[in-house]
Structure 1
Amino acid sequence: MASPDNVRMSLAAAMTLGLRRGLFYRNAKLGCINLLMEYDDGCMANCQYCGQGREMTETPDCRSLIRVEWPSYPLDQVIEAINTASVERTYIKRVCVGSICHRRAPQDMVHIISRVKAETDMVVSTLVTPTVFGRAEMEAVRDAGAENMTVAVDCSTPELFDELRGRTAMGPHKWDTYIEGIRTAVEVMGPGNNAVGVHLIIG
Structure 2
Amino acid sequence: MYTHQQQLVTAGVPLSEANKAILMFHGRGGSATAIISLQRFLHLQDMAIVAPQANRNSWYPYSFMAPENQNQPALDSAMATIAETMDEIDKNGISPANTYFLGFSQGACLTLEYVARNAQKYGGIIAFTGGLIGERLVVSHYQGDFEQTPILVTTSNPDPHVPLSRVEESVVVLEGLGGQVELNVYPGKMHSISREELALANQWLL
* TM-score over 0.5 (shorter chain): no
TM range (shorter): 0.3 to 0.5
Normalising by structure 2, report the TM-score.
Answer: 0.43
